[in-house]
Structure 1
């Protein structure tokens, strides 16, 4: 494994990488020897991030099959980071060059297969394997545990709570989340995450002003250790992600795993992976209606809770373990 994803906290790439490493060590410790960021010979070199030193390593002997994890494309950087020209042009070309150095690419959303093909990458070199989360890390607490958790955090049992998570940036739709808090003052809103990339974050100046002085019903706890995220999901009645652009957000899977009903901005790329498991909304007005609808109808909230748990089974660690093992086995056979 080659990755620097965990150096920057609060981003989904690091979560996906951590989950996969833990899965392999838990399920296949006797079959797969996992080494991290080492240049010793291997059957497979799996690149999770596109560091230049990793790109250079692909030219060294003994790399085996080179696997690239596609967590983003040049166009998905829009709304995330402020990268001025000509650096944006250079990075976009470098990113595709990195992907083309791979023997096989893994995408977490099938909608990105066509995008990669448009860059001249053969479909035969692309495999779809969805993200997943472990029930050991994200799970629903009992009603009594939730009650104690709310008491600890100073939130009453009857207060309706909406949570969002991720980096604070324009692409994540945080401005709409803030607007919802302003429109619905009787509902508690919590956004867990921060400015992982500091001042180069797109929309930093405007968003920072609100983070420093939020509405009374909006709480920004900042970047939280992943080990503590389970508590935040269990505080919530609804998870809402107003993001404008995603691949397969880990935060949605984490919410599903905790049984939290999910509202998402209506994006076409969700249709092939989680359609039917969440409530879609096209804009902030639609999100407002959905939140009000669920806040006033416990029966609908319960049905969405059940859908979330169904989705968590489909994208569970146990379900994906064999898929990853078969994929790696096939790659090693191609080396031989």
Structure 2
């Protein structure tokens, strides 16, 4: 069976530079390299099926005009609070809209089992398949020394990396506090304000950046290719975010073999198993110190991180999506659940 699918994300012509846009790009690229499918991304062209990654006006129009719709549920009401300004008082209406939107689709894809559980608690009744995000395979990388030279980072200093938007939900204040407790290490936060003044507590976040410790660097918003240089230049990946579904930055860090120190969240326990060190505000400093000070632990955690890349690939994601598409177009109800 040959399937023509239109993969759409409003981030392609509005705001990029975030995980949803990265997953959209990766899905589109992997489908274009798969047999039995023609993948396009054009809201003005017809296809057998439309695969949506966002929930805005264009996506809403597709719900009424496309012959068949699949939506990847990147958003829940919980993930918006602490990300976009003014969402907290409207959490219930947002949840009502998202529930209606996901139930309007012919099929829903969750990026993790944790996300599927959250969607069910929201009242989503449609069949939900779990297709985890997979970061692109890293073919070859420059050396750490070359990457640091390119980025003008010191050669002998430990570098702790975080990648994400600057917003309260991502744990920026925790990042600064931990950095202040480890003055011998350089803490680099890659990411900025892709939503500008719409970012939750935008002006407070700006003040926080201005008052950062002396060993903290905020790079601002960068292209995805430029971000890769920071992965190559770093010693450990630190993600203090308070709420996540399936963050691409963590998966990309794992693909580069960086030891992972993450907040203890349910989504990580399901997605990553024992491949990372779980911490909280009271233990992050010691966890990072252990990784930086122990070469044996760094090597072991690096191997654990790389094992995540070996468990799945973009081609496997494309095959999983194609199964869903074909079963939908054959009027069957797909029940695929991929947890690895």
Residue 289 of structure 1 corresponds to 286
Task: Report the 3-state secondary structure (helix = DSSP H, G, I; strand = E; otherwise coil) of the residue aligned with 2:288.
Answer: helix
Q: What is the CA deviation profile of residues 38-87 of structure 1, one whole-angstrom value per residue up to 9, with x for unaligned ones?
A: 24443211111111232133222xx2321111001112212111225765
Establish whether residue 33 from structure 1 lines up as the match of residue 38 from structure 2.
yes
- Could you tell me whether the CA contact under 8 Å between 1:162 and 1:190 is conserved in 2? yes
Task: Report the 3-state secondary structure (helix = DSSP H, G, I; strand = E; otherwise coil) of the residue aligned with 1:55.
Answer: helix
Q: Distance in 1 between matches of 2:121 and 2:212?
A: 42
Could you tell me how far 1:213 is from its partner in structure 2? 4.5
Q: Out of 291, 313, 316, which is 1:316 matched to?
A: 313
- Could you tell me whether the CA contact under 8 Å between 1:140 and 1:234 is conserved in 2? no
Cα distance change on mapping 1:65 and 1:141 into 2, 3 Å:
same
- Could you tell me whether the CA contact under 8 Å between 1:139 and 1:257 is conserved in 2? no
Q: Out of 94, 113, 120, which is 1:91 matched to?
A: 94
Residue 112 of structure 1 corresponds to 115
Could you tell me how far 1:168 is from its partner in structure 2? 0.4
Q: Distance in 2 between matches of 1:95 and 1:119?
A: 9
Residue 5 of structure 1 corresponds to 11
- Could you tell me whether the CA contact under 8 Å between 2:257 and 2:306 is conserved in 1? yes
Q: Distance in 2 between matches of 1:9 and 1:117?
A: 28
Could you tell me how far 1:262 is from its partner in structure 2? 0.6
Taking the TM superposition and a 5 Å limit, the aligned residue runs for 1:163-182 are 163-182=161-180
Q: Distance in 1 between matches of 2:38 and 2:180?
A: 51
Task: Report the 3-state secondary structure (helix = DSSP H, G, I; strand = E; otherwise coil) of the residue aligned with 1:50.
Answer: coil
Q: What is the CA deviation profile of residues 206-247 of structure 1, one whole-angstrom value per residue up to 9, with x for unaligned ones?
A: 321232343221101100001111111011100000011000
Listed as ranges, the gaps of 5+ residues in structure 1 are: none
Taking the TM superposition and a 5 Å limit, the aligned residue runs for 1:38-117 are 38-60=43-65, 63-83=66-86, 87-117=90-120
More moved, 79-88 vs 323-332: 79-88
- Could you tell me whether the CA contact under 8 Å between 1:274 and 1:311 is conserved in 2? yes
- Could you tell me whether the CA contact under 8 Å between 1:44 and 1:331 is conserved in 2? no
TM-score by length of 1: 0.91
TM-score by length of 2: 0.90
Q: What is the CA deviation profile of residues 97-153 of structure 1, one whole-angstrom value per residue up to 9, with x for unaligned ones?
A: 21111010000011222332233333x611100001112xx45635xx221221233
Q: Out of 17, 23, 30, which is 2:30 matched to?
A: 23
Could you tell me how far 1:169 is from its partner in structure 2? 0.6
- Could you tell me whether the CA contact under 8 Å between 2:190 and 2:220 is conserved in 1? yes
Task: Report the 3-state secondary structure (helix = DSSP H, G, I; strand = E; otherwise coil) of the residue aligned with 1:134.
Answer: coil
Q: Distance in 2 between matches of 1:307 and 1:127?
A: 26
Task: Report the 3-state secondary structure (helix = DSSP H, G, I; strand = E; otherwise coil) of the residue aligned with 2:64.
Answer: coil
Task: Report the 3-state secondary structure (helix = DSSP H, G, I; strand = E; otherwise coil) of the residue aligned with 1:244.
Answer: coil
Taking the TM superposition and a 5 Å limit, the aligned residue runs for 1:320-331 are 320-331=317-328
- Could you tell me whether the CA contact under 8 Å between 1:107 and 1:129 is conserved in 2? yes
Q: Distance in 1 between matches of 2:123 and 2:254?
A: 35
- Could you tell me whether the CA contact under 8 Å between 1:9 and 1:223 is conserved in 2? no
Residue 203 of structure 2 corresponds to 205
Q: What is the CA deviation profile of residues 292-311 of structure 1, one whole-angstrom value per residue up to 9, with x for unaligned ones?
A: 11111000000000011101
**Cα RMSD, aligned residues only:** 2.0
Cα distance change on mapping 1:139 and 1:266 into 2, 3 Å:
farther
- Could you tell me whether the CA contact under 8 Å between 2:173 and 2:208 is conserved in 1? no
Residue 186 of structure 2 corresponds to 188
Listed as ranges, the gaps of 5+ residues in structure 2 are: 1-6, 334-340
